[in-house]
Amino acid sequence: MIDIDTITKRYDDTEVVSDVSLSVPAGSIAVIVGTSGSGKTTLLRMINRLVEPTSGRIRIDGQDTHSLSPHVLRRKIGYAIQGHGLFPHRTVAQNIATVPKLLGWEPARIKQRVADLLTLFQLDPAAYGPRYPSALSGGQQQRVGVARALAAEPAVLLMDEPFGALDPVIRAKAQDDLRAIQRRFGTTIIMVTHDMEEAIHLGDRIAVMDGGRLLQYASPTEILTAPATGFVESLLGAADRPFRLLSLTTLADVVEPGTADGAPLSADATARDGLSALLWTGRDAAPVQSADGAPLGRVTRARLMAAARLPGQAPV
């Protein structure tokens, strides 16, 4: 659990983070969004004390971050940034081993951890471990950056636009990998992003910042259906809201008894992908099946359109 308690950062007379309080439950992902200069990075960096707060407190699992020296604190907290920040003159394996080495892990344990992480990120340890960062693609470098941040098994991972430079296909893959890893290790993650799509896809909670202030901190569904201010609403992009709402639901949630013609859709697919498939193939309904191919029923266009509607809004 990360507890940010009335934290403020001032540079001379300018307050860049003002009185922000929020709690991130252990094992969940909080995503910070907001316009450029709204204080997102400053807020994130106050957690690992790369920036010292002017006032307020931050506790991790009840422990005040100021009760530890900054370098000890930073070894306990993973940190991944856009552009990965890898050391160019160290191999991929040496990069990932950085913090475990500082912590004095046994060489055999470090070797195993490096191999496990590379495998997890679908990079063959024998092929990629000995390479230098310059011999990797941008997407591979980014994955190594996240692997390095996770190397010492931190309970907390801070990420600043970690996937900002990736193309949409690699980005979606990196997001799914991160979710899988987060579930497996129970890591608590705070991530800064410009991308509302990414925030809704990954966040258990979303913090919206503007001018150093926290405007709203809530679940993606609540942010979408009950934005606290006009600014939050404008960040969501009014035209995209129904589709973003659908992206939070799977076909398993909206399947109904019955049959339909044509190619079946997977129950794991999002309602957004389901509606897209129905529109594209001009169907009113499609069969839904489980991951192992068992028929579960059908999904109708009418049901999906109802799921895209603002809750409480009666159909006309």
Please name which of 215, 214, 189 lies closest in space to residue 202, comparing C-alpha atoms: 189
Identify whether the C-beta of residue 207 lies closer than 8 Å to the C-beta of residue 217: yes
| Residues in a beta bridge with 216 | 208
16 binds ligand ATP (CB under 6 A): yes
CB of 42 to ligand ATP, least distance (A): 3
Considering beta carbons, is residue 42 or 142 the nearer one to ligand ATP? 42
Considering beta carbons, is residue 37 or 295 the nearer one to ligand ATP? 37
49 binds ligand ATP (CB under 6 A): no
Considering beta carbons, is residue 20 or 174 the nearer one to ligand ATP? 20
| Residues in a beta bridge with 7 | 20
CB of 229 to ligand ATP, least distance (A): 17
13 binds ligand ATP (CB under 6 A): no
User: What amino acid occupies position 292?
Assistant: D
User: Between 88 and 127, how does the x/- string for binding to ligand ATP read (CB under 6 A)?
Assistant: ----------------------------------------
130 binds ligand ATP (CB under 6 A): no
User: Between 27 and 46, how does the x/- string for binding to ligand ATP read (CB under 6 A)?
Assistant: -------x-xxxxxxx----
CA atoms of 35 and 31, how far apart (whole Å) = 13
Considering beta carbons, is residue 17 or 92 the nearer one to ligand ATP? 17
CB of 310 to ligand ATP, least distance (A): 29
CA atoms of 156 and 272, how far apart (whole Å) = 31
Taking residue 265's Cβ as centre, other Cβ atoms within 10 Å add up to: 21
Angle at 18 between CA 67 and CA 56, to 5 degrees: 20
Number of residues lying near ligand ATP (CB under 6 A):
10
User: Between 249 and 288, how does the x/- string for binding to ligand ATP read (CB under 6 A)?
Assistant: ----------------------------------------
Please name which of 167, 90, 170 lies closest in space to residue 133, comparing C-alpha atoms: 90
Six-digit token string for 17: 């983070």
CB of 260 to ligand ATP, least distance (A): 45
Tell me the backbone φ, ψ of residue 293, rounded to 5 degrees: 90, 5
11 binds ligand ATP (CB under 6 A): yes
Please name which of 264, 274, 250, 258 lies closest in space to residue 294, comparing C-alpha atoms: 264
| DSSP string for residues in 215-264 | EEEE-HHHHHHS-SSHHHHHHH-GGGHHHHHHTTSBHHHH-BSS---SS-
154 binds ligand ATP (CB under 6 A): no
Considering beta carbons, is residue 42 or 250 the nearer one to ligand ATP? 42
User: Which spans of this chain sit near ligand ATP (rule: CB under 6 A)?
Assistant: 11, 16, 34, 36-42
